[in-house]
Amino acid sequence: MAFLSVDFLLLLPLAVSLYHVIPTTWRSFCLLAYSYLFYCTWSLPYAALLLVVSLAVQRLGLRIEASVEDSVQKRYLAVGVVCLSLLLFAFKYAPVVSGRLSSLLAPLGVSYYTFKLVSYLVDVYWEKIPAERNVVAFLLYPVFFPQIVSGPIQRARDFLPQVKVAGPVDPSLIASGLRWILFGLFKKFVIADRLALFVNRIFDSPHNYGSVGLLLACYAFAIQLYADFSGLTDFAIGVGRLFGIDSPQNFNAPFYAPNIQEFWRRWHITLTSWLTDYVFTPLRIAFRNWGDAGLALAIVMNMVAIGVWHGARWTFVVFGLTNAVYMVVSAFTLKPRNRFFKRHPTLATARLIAAPLVTFHLVVFALVLFRANGLADAVYIASHVVPIDVFVSSLGHGRLALEESLHGLGLSFFQVYWALLAIPLMEAVQFVHRRGLLPRLFYARPTWVRWAVYYAGILVILFFGELEAREFIYEHF
């Protein structure tokens, strides 16, 4: 069953209702049953594999905790981390490396659940959390169905205590869950999937389009990817909340980040914070006596890991390397830049506006690599997006240029138009949410006003959404 399908949305209310009427002590078992049922609709053998892997990791965690000698603990940790890495490699990279792409389909969510389990073992070894003795709670951690498809990668210390609390779920958490679901669907159907109509055609045959189309597609893809993935995360957070489980946020206004380090702290937060804790920091510590070279090496390895995590493709490797170059340059120049702007307060004001714009464009450029169907296409797009040419041609007739570009794609202005109108709405809602203004501006309104807004939201999705069944981009990673 697809995560975002009519079947799923129809079964969800039934599952939620049953969950809230059964005795609270059965709830974690109920969630575990739902999660494995969901997983079994994808693949029974892979569900069995996940069950065996989870049980093995739980045993390893207990062994690590019970061992007195650090060397013994390390050995158990190494066994766990190596086996989980091999599992990930075998399904995600080996078929590509060996050239037998079609032979093996990767298990659903393998990139997410192996990362969850590795972090659990390391945290037990680092004595940040105790080894989990409650088998049901532990088994639920990697398979929890709202998070299995594409995260967020929640840490065990945040997840497990929530599962073990057996009390009534706060109704406000359920209400907020419904709002997250609605907003996630809005981002996905009205923005991401509409932009995808335009983006896919251009990226699938970039040679057929001029610089206007290519440039617009680059911007549109950045926004599509954000709306798609953050929409999916919002949906996952919302579904989790219906069952009383709070999941972490994955995005925090990334396109307003003032530098590239900050961008990566705000984009796919649960992946980047995972890599920071379990890859970057240990590497940085290991290389700490190598000075700046050690720092640069740790950054490069970490960013390549971020790229390659998305799949075994050269475009992802170069995407990681491009971001590594950004990060190294930014990290080594940040202090002098800060000092310079401290001495020039007038320029510092301009920096407030210019820095996020520069960062956004660096990201848009790197994302061309992320989306392009191969390095040759990426190079073609990058070398044929000529900003001056575009600027001049779009000065007098911006809409005309867009219409010409869309017409060439066989799309009408109308088909993409709604996405363009919806983007400011998405930004406005997120701005109000970030500023903590929702309680005053929205929750305090009379019930009929709030429900009118919810119904309007549903109607907007139904009428203006691109509802042809399409998958989420991050389901494939």
Partner 1 sequence: MSEESVRTRLNGVFRDVFDNEQLAVVDTTTANDVEGWDSLAHVNLIVAVEKAFGVSFTTKEISGLGNVGDFVRLIETKTG
Among 282, 374, 387, 398, binds partner 1 (CB under 8 A): 282
One-letter amino acid of 265? R
Nearest distance, CB of residue 370 and partner 1, angstroms: 24
CA angle (74 as vertex; 73, 76 as ends), nearest 5: 65
- Does position 285 interact with partner 1 (CB under 8 A)? The reply is yes
- Does position 70 interact with partner 1 (CB under 8 A)? The reply is yes
Nearest distance, CB of residue 330 and partner 1, angstroms: 10
- Does position 69 interact with partner 1 (CB under 8 A)? The reply is no
Q: Which of residues 249-278 bind partner 1 (CB under 8 A)?
A: 261, 276-277
CA angle (415 as vertex; 356, 456 as ends), nearest 5: 80
Cβ 47 vs Cβ 41: under 8 Å:
no
Strands (E), 368-473: none
CA gap 3, 149 in Å, rounded: 7
Cβ 274 vs Cβ 115: under 8 Å:
yes
Q: Closer to partner 1 at the Cβ: 275 or 363?
A: 275
Number of residues that bind partner 1 (CB under 8 A): 19
- Does position 286 interact with partner 1 (CB under 8 A)? The reply is yes
Nearest distance, CB of residue 282 and partner 1, angstroms: 5
Q: Closer to partner 1 at the Cβ: 285 or 350?
A: 285
Cβ 267 vs Cβ 254: under 8 Å:
yes
Which ranges of 243-290 would DSSP assign to H, the alpha helix?
A: 260-266, 269-275, 281-286
CA gap 196, 75 in Å, rounded: 47
| Crossing angle of the two packed helices 44-66 and 110-125, in degrees rounded to 10 | 10
Nearest distance, CB of residue 124 and partner 1, angstroms: 11
* Burial (0-12, 13-18, 19+ Cβ within 10 Å), 400: exposed
Stretch 108-127: interaction string toward partner 1, x if CB under 8 A: -----------------xxx
Q: Closer to partner 1 at the Cβ: 64 or 87?
A: 64
- DSSP code for 475: G
Q: Closer to partner 1 at the Cβ: 116 or 284?
A: 284
Q: Which of residues 181-210 bind partner 1 (CB under 8 A)?
A: none
- Does position 89 interact with partner 1 (CB under 8 A)? The reply is no
Q: Closer to partner 1 at the Cβ: 80 or 107?
A: 80
Among 245, 295, 328, 362, binds partner 1 (CB under 8 A): 295
- Does position 284 interact with partner 1 (CB under 8 A)? The reply is yes
DSSP notation for 286-317: HTGGGHHHHHHHHHHHHHHHHHHHT-S-HHHH
Among 18, 78, 104, 128, binds partner 1 (CB under 8 A): 128
Stretch 23-62: interaction string toward partner 1, x if CB under 8 A: ----------------------------------------
Tokens of 379: 């190079």
Helix (H, G, I), strand (E, B) or coil at 333: helix
Binding stretches for partner 1 (CB under 8 A)? 70, 125-128, 261, 276-277, 280-282, 284-286, 288-289, 295, 331, 335
